[in-house]
Structure 1
Amino acid sequence: MTEHVILLHGIWMRAFTLQSLARRLRVAGYTVETLDYASVFGGIEPAIARLRERMRAVDAEVVHLVGHSLGGVVALEATRGVRKLPRGRTVCLGPPLRGSAVARGLASVPGGRWLLGHSAGALVDGLDAWTGSRQVGVIAGRLPLGLGIAIGALTSPHDGTVSVEETLLPGISDHCTVAASHTGLLFSAEVADLTVGFLRAGRFAPVRR
């Protein structure tokens, strides 16, 4: 059975930041692609449309999604209540699913909302509880290193940008935390292993080396 993974980056980032994770997923046996989108000037709606288009176009029986930060929001919204998409699972890495204190702090200062661009609404307000058919797993970081500490009132534990509390969305299948910063989630071998475990079984199991 052919299983494909589409990776999505977060705000202010580009697809090249996903290459380390992509390599690890390919070693695990998946075909992998990265989806680049204009997180500020385009926002999540065009990204959602592009993701659905790519999911339908992929020649694979199973299409999994792995989104970092805002990319996790895009992944959930692209598959919420939509029929005739390939089956698969979704893993979100450090996603501000309940809304972001850092985004709210940034939006409150002059010019801050401009920096968030068309993704401001999703980041400030967060998402409704997950009721989709796809299993969703969330990996949150608890290493408090990042510029977000100076912008928003983050509740501990957090990864320097997103608090663990902000990643806990009702309706998801599983949740775990790792000792990684927000950006560090992309380069962690443990995160990659946990992601593979969830894509295979729909749950996070302890990493064995």
Structure 2
Amino acid sequence: MKIIILHGLYMHGMVMQPLSRKLRSLGYRTKVLTYNSVAINQHRLFNMIDNALSPTMPNILVGHSLGGLVIKQYLHSRQPSTDKVSHVVTIGTPIRGASIVTRLQSLGMGTLLGNSPLFGLQEHHDQWHYPQKLGSIAGTLPIGARALLLMDRRAPSDGTVTVEETKIEGMSDHIQVPKTHTSLIYSAFVPEQIDYFVHNDAFKH
């Protein structure tokens, strides 16, 4: 199986290499994609995903934060069969948008986000209606920008995205881990759970 990995906002593919290496050690082929997260060229990025997919084996799409929303948009655009893309795993992804984005926009700081809100970061109501199995991993260590922006500290979060924002009706499974938004990427727990989800359509609880 092949796993294509997409990073989140303000990041570069390099940050996803440790996760990629752990997944390779579990027997997967991997490909990390890099894109400009504040000036997203949908045509170019979706073509990159197309070209990364293996034509001879099942593919899994894994995205951190905004990367998971990009994957959702890709599925909407391309409508791949489950033979081509079997599973999707999102890591700290606000799958129905992020309240922190609404807060930044209300503070007049929306320009910092570039065009990323157009790719799902804007809060919205939605369901997972794609045939691919979706597994969502959420962090619960609330250290990050939410506190700096004086947002609700009582809502369980990874410091950036709330746990509730990582849930969507229609997903196959959801699991939490005590990590911050960024440290989720480097957790040994995450690749093990991705592997388990791919083989069982559910996480190991």
Q: Please, what TM-score do these two structures have when normalized by structure 2?
A: 0.90
Distance 1:204 1:124, change over 3 A: same
Of 40, 60, 64, 1:68 maps to: 64
Looking at structure 2, the residues matched to 80 and 152 of structure 1 have their Cα atoms a distance apart, in angstroms, of: 34
Q: Where in structure 2 are there 5+ consecutive unaligned residues?
A: none
Matched residue pairs, number? Answer: 201
Q: CA deviation at 1:149?
A: 2.3
Q: Is the 8 A contact 1:48 1:78 kept in 2?
A: no
- Per-residue displacement from partner, 1:130-187 (whole Å, max 9, x unpaired)? 1000000000000111123222624521000000011111111100100110001100
Q: Is the 8 A contact 1:8 1:72 kept in 2?
A: yes
**2:195 partner SS:** helix
The CA RMSD measured in Å over matched residues stands at 1.9
Identity of matched residues, %: 34
Q: Is the 8 A contact 1:103 1:123 kept in 2?
A: yes
Looking at structure 1, the residues matched to 5 and 121 of structure 2 have their Cα atoms a distance apart, in angstroms, of: 19
> Quick one: which amino acid aligns to residue 133 of structure 1?
P
- Per-residue displacement from partner, 1:110-129 (whole Å, max 9, x unpaired)? 3x111111112321224621
**1:114 partner SS:** helix
Q: CA deviation at 1:80?
A: 2.8
Distance 1:55 1:171, change over 3 A: farther
**1:139 partner SS:** strand
Looking at structure 1, the residues matched to 77 and 57 of structure 2 have their Cα atoms a distance apart, in angstroms, of: 20
Q: Is the 8 A contact 1:145 1:159 kept in 2?
A: yes
Distance 1:94 1:175, change over 3 A: same
2:26 maps to what in 1? 28
Q: How does 1:150-161 map to 2 (within 5 A)?
A: 150-151=148-149, 153-154=151-152, 156-161=155-160
Q: Please, what TM-score do these two structures have when normalized by structure 1?
A: 0.89
Looking at structure 2, the residues matched to 149 and 11 of structure 1 have their Cα atoms a distance apart, in angstroms, of: 18
**1:89 partner SS:** strand
> Quick one: which amino acid aligns to residue 12 of structure 2?
R
Q: Is the 8 A contact 2:68 2:89 kept in 1?
A: yes
Q: Is the 8 A contact 2:35 2:45 kept in 1?
A: no
Q: Is the 8 A contact 1:48 1:75 kept in 2?
A: no
- Per-residue displacement from partner, 1:58-93 (whole Å, max 9, x unpaired)? 343101011000001111221137445513200000
Q: Where in structure 1 are there 5+ consecutive unaligned residues?
A: none
**1:50 partner SS:** helix
> Quick one: which amino acid aligns to residue 180 of structure 2?
S
**1:20 partner SS:** helix
Looking at structure 1, the residues matched to 35 and 197 of structure 2 have their Cα atoms a distance apart, in angstroms, of: 25
1:80 maps to what in 2? 76
Q: Is the 8 A contact 2:96 2:168 kept in 1?
A: yes
Q: CA deviation at 1:51?
A: 4.7
2:184 maps to what in 1? 185
Distance 1:145 1:47, change over 3 A: farther
- Per-residue displacement from partner, 1:12-48 (whole Å, max 9, x unpaired)? 00100001110110000000010111110126x3465
Distance 1:126 1:25, change over 3 A: farther
Of 94, 101, 124, 1:96 maps to: 94
Of 112, 116, 139, 1:115 maps to: 112
